[in-house]
Amino acid sequence: MTTISDIKLAMDRIKGVVRQTPLRWSETLSTMVGYSVHLKMENIQKTGSFKLRGAANRILGGESSGGKGVVAASAGNHAQGVAFAAQQAGRQATIVMPQGAPITKADATRNYGARVILQGNNYDECFQIASGIAQQEDLEYIHAFDDPLIVAGQGTIGLEILDQHPGIRQILVPVGGGGLISGIALAAKAIDPEIRVVGVQAQGADAVYQTFQHQELTESQSVTTIADGIAVKRPGKLTSKIILDQVDSIITVSDEEIASAMLVALERLKTLVEGAGATALAGALFAGQELLPVPTAVVLSGGNVDVNLIARLIERGLVKSGRHAVLQVLIPDRPGNLQRVLNIVSGQGANIISILHDRLAQDLPLGWTQVTLSLETRNSSHIKNLVSSLKKEGLKIEIL
């Protein structure tokens, strides 16, 4: 099993490749949850995630650390970590990524000099493909999590957290295959066995949670989550043993909570995190009953997020908070009635983004016209008052 000595050795080995990321106290988040919270900013690590630490330690410290090429399977972050570390070591990297991997992650991996193969539908299928390539082309396989050197590399985060703030009593860590939490738990517990280490998983990819509940390695039948970086069906054998031995608790959060945490990070914390990177934050925000109210470090594990997803999340968040509304209004098809509607909207202080005026909509009653209004609003009460004002004029309203 990986030891604290291995983790300290990894710290020295990767020092010139990775950066020490800040541990930032958040007044906003501390106020929201009721205890002191510090954010470990691995979302601003080189390559955009913590994965570089383990990949660099594995490639620089492996048995075949010469010029032999390497191959890995990844949804994106491990891919970039392996590609960058291989580039630094002067080695060629081949990465197998799921066909649906975010374009930004695939392009970034290519930009680090790697050959990218888009095959498979998830990490586990990519793993099988990459393992075959390793045998066919005599390449060294770099596992995403189930490797002592990978675990040791990720454990350097635990060393940094406690060096930056020795008073931390609880660490929240996102969990996929288990490499990150295994390393952090080993490092933290070696320094202080009383530190509480809590893993947070997506409900749609909860194999480690089930493993923890059953106290034996358990595989999920399927995985579905917006947190693609932790969408793993089968955790590692090594990491499962470490988790069962070292980790205090594993909790789960929903995709809705992960999405909300991403928006909180953007709007309140002024930082960009991907779904996997926001999972531990979602645990702090929405699973308070599972946590102790003690000084806590939350690992923001990555920031490589598809801008299209961010756009959808922002739009969804605006609707949920009542700051964006789409109203479908049926009005009598007579001159001046559209202006009457617009006057009401203006009088209520809503801002019009767009208008669609349709007199030929299917099932539209004769003599009526359908107007769809996309509006900027203040909150849910504002929308309610606006709808009430329109209904008082005899108009038929539907909130889309």
* Per-residue confidence (pLDDT) for residue 242, from 0 to 100: 97
pLDDT at 66: 55
Mean of all residue pLDDT scores within the chain: 92
* pLDDT for 282 beyond 60: yes
Q: What is the pLDDT of residues 357-375, one digit of tens each?
A: 888 877 788 888 899 999 9
Buried-state track 71-99, b at ≥16 Cβ within 10 A, e below 16? bbbbbbbbbbbbbbbbbbbebbbbbbbbe
Give the strand pairing for 324-332 and 396-399. Answer: antiparallel
Note the pLDDT tens digit of each residue in 68-85. Answer: 899 999 878 999 999 999
pLDDT tens across 323-361, in order? 899 999 988 888 888 898 999 999 999 999 999 988 887
Residue 51 is a catalytic residue? yes
Quote the pLDDT of residue 101: 80
**Residues sharing a CB contact under 8 Å with residue 270, sequence separation 6 or more, in sequence order:** none
Q: How much is the pLDDT for 67?
A: 64
pLDDT band at 317 (very low <50, low <70, confident <90, very high): confident
The partner residues of 117 in beta bridges, in order of sequence, read: 96
What is the pLDDT averaged over residues 192-209? 96
Structure confidence by residue, pLDDT tens digits, 122-171: 878 898 999 999 999 999 999 999 999 999 999 999 999 999 999 999 99
Our measurement of the distance from residue 71's CA atom to the centroid of its chain's CA atoms, rounded to an integer in Å, reads 24
The pLDDT, as a whole number, for residue 161 is: 98
> Has residue 65 got a pLDDT over 60?
no
Active site residue 301: yes
Amino acid at 287: A
- The catalytic residue among 51, 105, 182, 240 is 51
Q: Given the structure tokens 């050197």, which residue do they identify?
A: 149
Q: Which of 36, 182, 240, 301 is catalytic?
A: 301
Domains and CATH numbers, the chain: 4-49+147-316 (3.40.50.1100), 51-141 (3.40.50.1100), 322-399 (3.30.70.260)
**Residue 62 above 80 pLDDT?**
no
CA distance 178 to 241: 10
Q: What is the pLDDT of residue 64?
A: 58
Cα 115 to Cα 23, 43, 60, 98: the distances in Å are 34, 24, 20, 14
The residue with greater pLDDT, 122 or 38, is 38
Nearest one of 257, 248, 250 to 235, comparing CA atoms: 250
Per-residue pLDDT averaged across 205-231, rounded?
Answer: 91
When pLDDT is cut at 50, 70 and 90, the band that residue 321 belongs to is: confident
Residue 193: pLDDT above 80? Answer: yes
- List the structure tokens of 53: 């630490």
For residue range 95-113, what is the model confidence (pLDDT) as tens digits? 999 888 878 788 999 999 9
State yes or no: pLDDT of 288 exceeds 60: yes
Q: Mean pLDDT over residues 262-269, rounded? A: 92
